[in-house]
Structure 1
Amino acid sequence: MLAHGMVHTYELSIPIFIPVWLDAFDVVSLGPVELAVTSASLGVLVTVGYGLFGLGALPGGILVDRVGSRRLIVACLVGMAAAFLLLGAAPGLVAVTLAMVVWGVSASVYHPAGLALISKGVEERGSGFAFHGIAGNVGIGLGPLLTAVLLLFFDWRLVAAVLAVPALVAAAYATTASFDETAAVETATDGGGSKASSGVESLGEFRRESAKLFTGAFALVFLVVMCSGLYYRGILTFMPDLLDGIPAFRPVPVSSVVPAGVLETLGIEGVGDRRVRPGDYFYAGLLMVGVLGQYVGGKLTDRIPVEHGIAGGFGLLAVLAVLFLPAANAGLAALLVLGFVLGAALFVVQPFYQATVAEYTPAGTRGLSYGFTYLGVFGVGALGGTVAGVVLQYANPPTLFGILACFAVVASGIGVYLSRR
């Protein structure tokens, strides 16, 4: 839970930096070539880190089955801390990209390691996934909130360096924790005829085990998680920047929110001209509501067929994508209500597809299975950031939300098919 919170603290603090980078940089210098900094170019930059976050999940999943979860989780925490220290020293966007690469590679091993640990070590999977997800949502909400508050008073590079500290503390704790990684394997549903002990040991075995996964219904589950990732990354990456354009969330000077006397008392009166971005706090609040979504989704996973949860959850996400801009235009109250529902719905679906993977796969290659899962969620899903950036640069927000609704409709349709199959 601690490591999961750290992973998502960093993942969702990155979009808070995007408006800052749009203001701070005009060009990306690539030797003799200079590219203008736009929503599209920053979308590609962020996709590099987020893409590796997903692409590394597959080799991470193979390693989990071979060396266990603890070592990979500790390495993940140390690597993420190093990435944000590098970000704090970044002189330009090329160095920012390098820091995102380090973060993406380090964070990529977490989900196969953490979810394999729960699926093999916890008998009440649904509740285990729920509490694990709640911890992730605490990081998802507090990461952007902490980042937004720190940016009011400090330079973004210092903020990035400060954010590295919690991961180092978590890594120190992770080396001392004691637990049985396979406590629930004997009672877990095996999910098929494949072996259930030690994972893959060769390239040939990797091919055979992968083929067994994708010749079954797991292939459809993989399509669901790809759609989930595209929707998730597409709606969240540029949301802080989109919210800045809504009248109720337009940035205002710090001095108009915090009295000058208070700033002087705190010894930070020089920040009065910096801008408070109300949208950042709405964004953080929306993500914090995900705690409720994770809890409800996890409990429902233990009570209803997971296929029904996928069909209903993604159907709701499709409706919310269509309603988001009309709610924003209808006023602050309507947007707050929709944001609350969206924040919960984004994360209700996660315990369902996590448990679905466990239902359709064998225990011995559970790490491999979750590796493929998060290759889909965060690897293919990372393209959602590029899609959002390009669509916002060359089209408009209604087009973006229409595309996101289509992703959700596809996932919901697969849930309906699986429930009837």
Structure 2
Amino acid sequence: MLAHGLVHTYELTLPILAVGSVWGATFPATTLPGLGTVETTLFVLGVVVSGGYALFGLGALPGGLLADAYGSRPLIVASLVGMGGSFVLLAFAPSLPVVAACLLIWGISASVYHPAGLSLISKGVQQRGTAFAYHGIAGNIGIGVGPLVAALLLFFLGDWRLAVGLLGVPALLAAAVAARVDIDETAAATDDNARASGDVGSLAEFFTSSRRLLLGPFVLVFVVVICSGLYYRGFLTFLPELLGRFDSLSPIALAGRTIEPSRYVYVGLLTAGVAGQYLGGRLTDAIPAERGLAAGYTVLGVLALGYLPVARTGLGPLLVVSAVMGVALFAVQPFYQATVAEYSPAGTRGLSYGYTYLGVFGVGALGGAVAGGLLTVAGPATLFGVLAAIAALAAGLSMYLIR
């Protein structure tokens, strides 16, 4: 729970830094070999952030293999050290390409957490749904508190470099804690093959296990989680920027500094996800996960179509629809996490969650670049229309899984 909270603290702090008033203002243009000087548009910032987000997902597959082979603790410790170190390095970045490099380090470090942590829960706890809910709540506390702390540090310190340097310290301290915790990682596993062997295994075994997963119904789950990642990243990457365009959230001058209400509404939406994680986790123990997925993505599709029209009517409706979106966006996560456990054997649980987060955060990272591109050339309405289509596809596949 501690590690999960920190993973998402850093993940959802990046959109606050990626808005034009922070990195865009610090690095208004970048000189690239062969391309000359490139203006720092939302699309460029989307590509920079998406690089780190892509490795956040792409590294999940090897992370899952290592979790099956060596257990979860060493990977969680390494993840915390890498994330904290990357944010400390980010504080000294002299240019946007160096920012991108620091985010790549963060991405590969963060990538191993989910397959390691979720494999630990699925093999170490019998009440998976409830455990996934508490684990998710910890993540959502990080999702909400992390960006809030970042916004407050930016306001009071007025220096994003000092803010991100300070943000890197908690992960380094948490790594020391994680290295000392005494746990039994396989307390609830009934499959002897679930025990870590200490050997990653052969390439042939990897392909055999992958084929067993991807030639069965797990492949449908894989596509559903890709849709989840595209929607999640497409909606959240530039959410502070989008919120700042509403008249009801215009910047406010206070004591010689500027308060940006959009940042705090963004934090509030993410914090509402705590209720979504808990609700989804408890329902996962009560109803079939596939039905929960179908209902959840249907709601997300409707919200994508209605978000802008409702938000434009005033501050009150904007706050309400944002809170509902926060609950719905995170309520689906325990459902797909439990669905993965149902559609994969315990011995390759780390591999299955590796594929899951390869889809959610690896392929899903394209959502950030797509969002930046659509906002640059088309506008918010087009972006939300695409998000609705993605949710409709996920809901349809979930209904097929029910059959």
Aligned with 2:83 (options 80, 85, 97) = 80
Structure-2 residue corresponding to 1:266: none
CA contact (8 A) 1:250 1:277 kept: yes
Structure-2 residue corresponding to 1:18: 18
> More deviation in 322-331 or 355-364?
322-331
Structure-2 residue corresponding to 1:175: 179
Structure-1 residue corresponding to 2:269: 286
Structure-2 residue corresponding to 1:164: 168
With the length of structure 1 as denominator, give the TM-score of the two structures. 0.93
Structure-2 residue corresponding to 1:382: 365
Structure 1, residues 64-104: CA drift from partner, whole Å, max 9, x if none? 00111000000000000110011100111111001101100
Opposite residue 235 of structure 1, the aligned amino acid is: F
Structure-1 residue corresponding to 2:51: 48
CA contact (8 A) 2:186 2:194 kept: no
CA contact (8 A) 1:197 1:363 kept: no
Structure 1, residues 193-242: CA drift from partner, whole Å, max 9, x if none? x9555575111110010000011110000000000000000000000011
Structure-1 residue corresponding to 2:226: 226
Structure-1 residue corresponding to 2:330: 347
Q: How does 1:51-200 map to 2 (within 5 A)?
A: 51-154=54-157, 155-186=159-190, 196-198=194-196
5+ unaligned residues in a row in structure 1: which ranges? 256-271
With the length of structure 2 as denominator, give the TM-score of the two structures. 0.97
CA contact (8 A) 2:124 2:188 kept: yes
Opposite residue 351 of structure 2, the aligned amino acid is: L
Query: Alignment partner of 1:330: what SS?
Result: coil
CA distance in 2 between partners of 1:332 and 1:382 (Å) = 30
5+ unaligned residues in a row in structure 2: which ranges? none
CA contact (8 A) 2:297 2:394 kept: yes
Opposite residue 49 of structure 1, the aligned amino acid is: G
Report how far residue 153 of structure 1 moved: 2.1
Aligned with 1:309 (options 281, 292, 311) = 292
Cα root mean square deviation, aligned: 1.2
CA contact (8 A) 1:198 1:365 kept: no
CA distance in 1 between partners of 2:188 and 2:386 (Å) = 41
CA distance in 2 between partners of 1:244 and 1:97 (Å) = 24
CA distance in 1 between partners of 2:179 and 2:267 (Å) = 30
Opposite residue 390 of structure 2, the aligned amino acid is: F
CA distance in 2 between partners of 1:290 and 1:328 (Å) = 18
Query: Alignment partner of 1:28: what SS?
Result: strand
CA contact (8 A) 2:68 2:194 kept: no
Structure-1 residue corresponding to 2:202: 202
CA contact (8 A) 2:58 2:358 kept: yes
Opposite residue 47 of structure 1, the aligned amino acid is: S
CA contact (8 A) 1:289 1:343 kept: yes
CA contact (8 A) 2:273 2:326 kept: yes
Query: Alignment partner of 2:312: what SS?
Result: helix
CA distance in 2 between partners of 1:371 and 1:322 (Å) = 32
